[in-house]
Structure 1
């Protein structure tokens, strides 16, 4: 198979990305959240608002299961719900201002750490190589 020639590169890239993810995770303070909670928070951060039904469909879980996840995030003070002005039966979920500030502070910490590592450990040529590789990496993770 022609793709087998890329197996070593795929293995190395996977290992490197796992290590980078681990390092970035060390810089955040969300270890007390499970995967589903983190996914909901990331989605709301990117899209501002959603409903429990939309989140459940996104996660591929029942609405009742997502309801428990959402309630735990409400109890933690991370999200709030407001009645949908177009359909009072629905609740629009969004992040609290305090949580948005926490997320943005964490993102800044991660990005500053990455910038510092790049500056201290990489040559200009290596930084340029990262810039050149970024579009290809984005293609790898883009939804098909």
Structure 2
């Protein structure tokens, strides 16, 4: 099995631990972006996705309706709305991340030898380079 296949399988297993299967790719992308960056605007999100502001507005509205996203007026520019994750959704995300981390840690400790665990740790810098945006 090659690296790509292995990473795909691990990703699938971790995805099984998520509870966001009914969300579209665009909705997931918005939620991930807001989780990483705390706040954004519809215009910024639309530019990131390469879609019209109106299309992103519909995506954001569906996330607001689901209770995942909230908008507040920008204190610097009242014409803009700053979007962020709701506290309830943030708790759900953090709980899901914890479940995924625990699953992965259990798999590592239950299935790998000490030498294999050390090999994984030694491979982390190279894998981080592959995953880096720059």
TM-score (norm 2): 0.97
Q: Following superposition, which runs of at least 4 residues in structure 1 exceed 4 angstroms of deviation?
A: none
Q: Secondary structure at the match of 2:70?
A: strand
1:26 is the counterpart of 2:16: yes
- Cα distance in structure 1, aligned partners of 2:120 and 2:30: 30
- Cα distance in structure 2, aligned partners of 1:98 and 1:90: 24
Give the superposition deviation at 1:143.
1.6
Matching residue of 1:4:
none
Alignment of 1:125-140 (within 5 A): 125-140=115-130
Q: Secondary structure at the match of 1:92?
A: strand
- Cα distance in structure 1, aligned partners of 2:129 and 2:26: 25
- Cα distance in structure 2, aligned partners of 1:70 and 1:82: 13
TM-score (norm 1): 0.91
Computed over aligned residues only, the root mean square deviation of the Cα atoms, in angstroms, reads 0.9
State how many pairs are aligned: 134
Matching residue of 2:6:
16
Give the superposition deviation at 1:31.
0.1
1:38 is the counterpart of 2:36: no
- Cα distance in structure 1, aligned partners of 2:82 and 2:62: 16
